[in-house]
Amino acid sequence: MERIFLREEMAEHESTCILEKVKIGVVGMAPGVGTTFVATSLALRLSEKQECSIGFLELTGKNHAEPLIYDSLGIDKRFAGREFADFYTRIKNKENVKGLFNIDERINWALLTPEEAKTDAMDLTTIEKVRLINNISAHILICDIDCRIATRSTKYNSTSAGREEMEDLLAELDIVIFVIDPMPSKMICGYELLAMIKGFEHRGAKIIWVVNKYNEGINKRELSSVLKLKYNIKLPLISNEAFYTAEYNCMIPYSTKVVREKAEDGIEKIVNLHKIYI
């Protein structure tokens, strides 16, 4: 049979172009290095780009004892008169979280709530955490990942189960931002996790190395010999007063003038290093 096929003119990519979510993990080398500061700053900066929606996911370890992001941002005040959807509970109950939103400052917040922190809802399995990562509605998802997931204990030494879970979570991400506090004790306790992230980088993962709290008290030569990084982005040490002011006013620290002026250059470098935008 002789037939003639005529194709209508169209852009070659139109039929195959699918908008995929960009998944970014922010992991600290040790507790208290400023992971949440970097993660919330990045989320706020990206939310200012009107063309894309931002999600923020808090992923905690078992027996979470740190102050909650929910409390530090004053979510109860921000959502006064509005319902705050409980992502953890819904995932635990095998409910669908696609299309679920807690929008504030153009960010979809998926946070552990104070009520959930008192129940087994906070103790998600690896599969449940992966479901959260892949099902929160956003163009760009920022995952604030508790480094103690890799330990599964109150000690800082990694366990095989903890390392495996952290590796499974990192494998779901497009970019990992690794936050380092140059205080020697912080680097010593988190050295195993540093080695794990370097291993991911050697296997082709996109890693952004961030040295937070950079200051004149650091022995630069010693820091370089410990980290052995070709390139890292530095964020300066910022006075505690700025963070107290932010919390007392239920603000993301990066939204305050003092913090933004000091951290803006570094946050912009993070955004632009792997072109983190849609």
pLDDT digits (tens, 9 = 90+) for 205-263: 999 999 999 999 999 999 999 999 989 999 999 999 999 999 999 999 999 999 999 99
**pTM attached to this predicted model:** 0.90
Cα dist from 162 to 59, 111, 157, whole Å: 14, 21, 10
pLDDT recorded at residue 162: 85
Q: What pLDDT shows up at residue 2?
A: 65
Longest CA span, the chain: 82
| Under-50 pLDDT residues of the chain | 10-18, 153-156
CA atoms within 13 A on the CB side of 123: 7
- Closest by CA to 270, choosing from 258, 252, 246, 254, is 254
Which is the CATH superfamily of the domain at 22-273?
Answer: P-loop containing nucleotide triphosphate hydrolases (3.40.50.300)
Backbone angle region of 171, left / alpha / beta, with phi > 0 → left and psi within -120 to 50 → alpha? alpha
Helix (H) or strand (E) holding 111: none
- The domain limits of the chain are 22-273
Taking the C-alpha atoms of residue 68 and residue 36, their distance in angstroms, rounded to an integer, is: 10
Q: Give the pLDDT confidence score for residue 12 in this predicted structure.
A: 42
Pairing of strands 22-28, 206-214: unpaired
Q: Could you tell me which residues come within 8 angstroms of residue 238 by beta carbon, excluding any fewer than 6 positions away?
A: 213, 253, 258, 259, 262, 263
Task: Supply the pLDDT for residue 163.
Answer: 87
Q: What is residue 14's predicted lDDT score, i.e. its pLDDT?
A: 41
User: In this predicted structure, what is the pLDDT of residue 16?
Assistant: 39
* Rounded CA separation 206/200 (Å): 8
Calpha distance 277→139 (Å, rounded): 9
